[in-house]
Structure 1
Amino acid sequence: MQAGLFVWRSFMPIQKNQIHRLEITDLNSDGNGVGKIDGFVVFVPMTAVGDLIEAKIVKVLKQYAFGIVERILSLSPDRIDNDCPVYRQCGGCSLRHIRYEAELDIKRRQVEACFRRIGGIDLTVERILSNPHTEGYRNKAQFPVALRDGKAVAGFYAKRSHRVVPCGDCRLQSPAFAPLVRVILDFIDEYHLPPYDETNHTGLIRNLYLREAPATGEIMVCLVATKKHIPSADELARRLVACNPKVKSVLVNRNSQKTNVILGDRCSVVWGKPVIHDVLRGVDVELSPLSFYQVNSLQAERLYDLAEEYAHLTGEETLVDLYCGAGTIGLSMAGKAKRVIGVEIIPVAVEDARRSAQRNGVRNAEFLCADAKEAARSLAQQGLRPDVVIVDPPRKGCDASVLQSICEMAPQRIVMISCNPATAARDCGLLQQQGYRVEEVAAADLFSRTLHVECVISLVKETISER
């Protein structure tokens, strides 16, 4: 075995710590630049297509290697200056050094490649919804809190670690958040409130959680703590409201568990309301810390507009909305459908959906608390024949049995909204085997400067003559 290993290494084109001249010809799904040395693939982060670099090899595997930029010899035309001081440490904005137009093309081609490689569906993605606001678009922020040199800091975990990189002023977050974070950190220091230490499971303040409703301007501030109450919380609320009068809700969320999950399941109101209100596609939405809601709600409206376009609603359709969350998609389309049935497994989300339907005067929508797989099977067994099924699954995609039950209900159209093109391509490949044709795929950029890309897919039931 040792001899074999020696022979393999002797033919390796590169070795660790060597420096090689490298042209970046592509970006992979992790945002790393791709180059080749004598046909051997090398991945280099923080590069752009067209960069000519000297790369130091830091890790060599059997099929590929990783390198870091030692020197840039020639700049890509897609490269721009980084304007964030913690960009390299944080790792959230993987594409911040690339022109936005090039970023959109990368994401569009990524969706195409997933459908071709994983789904076996050869298509061209003609449309990508660009983000009108590539800065300040996130309406929710979650900052872990830590102690640095005796002072409280908040920021983000560095890549593949739980080391907090201080950054209370992220450019992707709402500009309203940074001053409020500063108020909280000053309060923590002044009142000697210990940040949580996950190694020893000691301390009080774990995370800062902020939400803003773009349509109304209302802001929620929530401190995630190991106890139900924090000292002098009413004074903190006074300072927060003085900093920004749009703060309408100050809460404490208790999480005393040894877990990486940010939120516990109970919140107590310190000041103001337990919820804030937003409006999405004409639907009045209540938001608590536990509510699921699109982080980029303004761009999500355009995403849902496209989903409605693909649904081809005339007012006579029965629409089933699987993985419906708080019901926003179905409720926003209820005025153009005859009947809406939403399905969601999380009880609090179902209750949110039902209250939203009542509050918005929507009488043709009902919401079931059930697993999508069981609900789809039950509806199919009841003989329900919806005209349109909308699915908005988690990143892992749809369970195969969900897809099977959808096909048994035999809707004329399926509209899939996905935050993971890879699982969307896989699921669409399975649906095509069951007689559904992918009619169109559009990409959507909801999380600019990051690697994430969403897509919307229109599938139509084929007739016998089409097969």
Structure 2
Amino acid sequence: MVQKNEILELEIVDITEEGNGVAKHDGFAVFIPNTAVGDRAQVRIVKVLSSYAFGRVERLISPSKDRTDPGCAVFGRCGGCTLRHIGYETELQLKYKWVANHLRRIGGIEVVPEPILHTGRTAGYRNKAQYPVRVEDGRVMTGFFAKRSHRIAASDLCDLQPALFEDILKEIRTFAEKQKIPVYDEQTHRGCLRHIYLRLAEKTGQVMVCLVLSGKGMPKEKLLVKRLTARFPQIHSIMVNVNQKKTNVILGDSCRTIYGADYIVDELCGVKLCLSPLTFYQVNRDAAELLYRQAQEYAQLTGEETLLDLYCGAGSIGLSMAHRVKKLIGVEVVEAAVENARQNAKLNGIGNARFFCADASSAAKRLAEEGTKPDVVIVDPPRKGCDKSVIESIVRMAPKRVVMISCNSATAARDCRAFEEMGYQVIKARPVDLFPRTGHVECVVLLTKTEK
């Protein structure tokens, strides 16, 4: 056992998905943030648990060859990037290993994943940013939440965001300060301006500004609109989102347009998509195209299939494949997303798609009653993965192929194991890096129905 405040000389031998380096002391694991494999350091133990401990670097004795300059003033304090201190090629190798290990250890799957896909672009790739707003020492501050807290790591510029976001953010913050706009306080629940939410449609260049307020309006809204639109002609929509709940959830349920349209339009895989503040959309457009094209390749579409897109959201995945199938059916539990998907199908003149609101079990029952049997199912669940009832519903529909897209390879591996226990086999898998410099990685998996 190690002791709290003990200082040890340790060598980093691995990195976790949270970005913590892993060292061993007499077989006891110690996790140390902001370290790289190969680092040797004097480490102070700051927390000891029954089977592992946490430490922090007191002095770096010899740096790893993988180390690089993070190039960010708030690295280590901001809760976003966890891998900025290592080279990108090393990051890709780590992410590939994480996916492969999850499939093997959690899923019991021996398929060797295909090489990781990525665009090579590690800066300015995010098309969406949500900035908390606070008052500190009498100044209006914006930035990003520090790790595991609601303290703001104040920063205007993030290397992952477009430079334009920095300029718009500064303009709004300066306006709020000069006009004495009341800023929301999480402790007292007083004030108005909670978050600033920016969205960019990269293909069209259209920008949406969304002000998240604790009330239905903000003082001097029209003056702010005038200021923003005069300086930034790229802005096509300015919205207000109302969140009056005492919660750390950023967005409320209702939106109001105070300038322009209530959406902006982007294009992904040749499909035009309307994006509202509440629309789910991949934050890395170029990498999402790689992801969806890989999913389409795994789906092996010939033009004769009925394709079911579960968790379809605004329809982006299914609509990108509509031209390769006979019929597209999209299912989503959020009614607003279903309406958005129908709008997107109409916008693109896609006539072989229909979308309805239901959970997976209800959808399976409805399709069975209609006599509709999908040949291929695309499933893109949230981070928690698929409920067992969802997997059972898919299996009852007996598609020839299931293509799973996942932002969490651990839950994907668990779900693949459940599919294999119910008559499907994992044939291929591939990691795709949608979130460079962070600990997140997507993966695509192909499962086929086994012959009995």
Question: TM-score of the superposition, structure 1-length normalised?
Answer: 0.95
In 1, distance between residues paired with 2:10 and 2:110?
31
Matches within 5 A, 1:54-453: 54-380=42-368, 382-453=370-441
In 1, distance between residues paired with 2:268 and 2:358?
25
* Contact in 2 for aligned 1:380/1:405 (Cα 8 Å): no
1:35 alignment counterpart: 23
In 1, distance between residues paired with 2:6 and 2:119?
40
Q: Deviations over 1:161-198 (max 9, x none)?
A: 11111112111112110000000000001110111001
SS in 2 for 1:353: helix
* Contact in 2 for aligned 1:59/1:67 (Cα 8 Å): yes
Letter in 2 for 1:210: L
In 2, distance between residues paired with 1:150 and 1:402?
51
In 2, distance between residues paired with 1:29 and 1:166?
25
SS in 1 for 2:76: helix
Letter in 1 for 2:105: R
**Offset at 1:229?**
1.8
1:49 to 37, 41, 48: 37
SS in 2 for 1:129: coil
Q: Which moved more, 1:241-250 or 1:175-184?
A: 241-250
* Contact in 1 for aligned 2:8/2:44 (Cα 8 Å): yes
In 1, distance between residues paired with 2:55 and 2:201?
42
**Offset at 1:380?**
4.0
Letter in 2 for 1:157: F
* Contact in 2 for aligned 1:140/1:209 (Cα 8 Å): yes
Q: Which moved more, 1:429-438 or 1:342-351?
A: 429-438
SS in 1 for 2:57: strand
Q: Which moved more, 1:432-441 or 1:95-104?
A: 432-441
**Offset at 1:80?**
0.4
Distance change in 2, residues 1:397/1:380 (3 Å): farther
* Contact in 1 for aligned 2:199/2:209 (Cα 8 Å): yes
SS in 2 for 1:257: coil
In 2, distance between residues paired with 1:423 and 1:174?
31
**Offset at 1:427?**
0.5
**Offset at 1:322?**
0.4
Letter in 1 for 2:38: G
**Offset at 1:267?**
1.7
In 2, distance between residues paired with 1:229 and 1:151?
22
* Contact in 2 for aligned 1:50/1:77 (Cα 8 Å): yes
Letter in 2 for 1:450: T
SS in 2 for 1:119: coil
**Offset at 1:381?**
5.3
Letter in 1 for 2:22: V
In 2, distance between residues paired with 1:401 and 1:424?
15
Letter in 2 for 1:225: L
* Contact in 2 for aligned 1:436/1:462 (Cα 8 Å): yes
1:4 alignment counterpart: none
Q: How many residues align?
A: 452
In 2, distance between residues paired with 1:123 and 1:313?
22
In 1, distance between residues paired with 2:86 and 2:244?
41
* Contact in 2 for aligned 1:383/1:409 (Cα 8 Å): no
Question: TM-score of the superposition, structure 2-length normalised?
Answer: 0.98
SS in 2 for 1:87: coil
In 1, distance between residues paired with 2:362 and 2:384?
17
**Offset at 1:124?**
1.8
* Contact in 2 for aligned 1:196/1:202 (Cα 8 Å): yes
SS in 1 for 2:366: helix
**Offset at 1:79?**
0.7
Q: Deviations over 1:249-285 (max 9, x none)?
A: 1121111111111112222222222111111111111
User: Where does the alignment leave 5 or more consecutive residues of structure 1 unmatched?
Assistant: 1-11
Letter in 2 for 1:78: D
**Offset at 1:228?**
1.7
1:9 alignment counterpart: none
SS in 1 for 2:367: helix
Q: Which moved more, 1:371-380 or 1:393-402?
A: 371-380
In 2, distance between residues paired with 1:238 and 1:26?
52
Q: Deviations over 1:39-85 (max 9, x none)?
A: 11111110001111111111111111111011111111111012100
In 2, distance between residues paired with 1:26 and 1:123?
23
Letter in 2 for 1:219: V
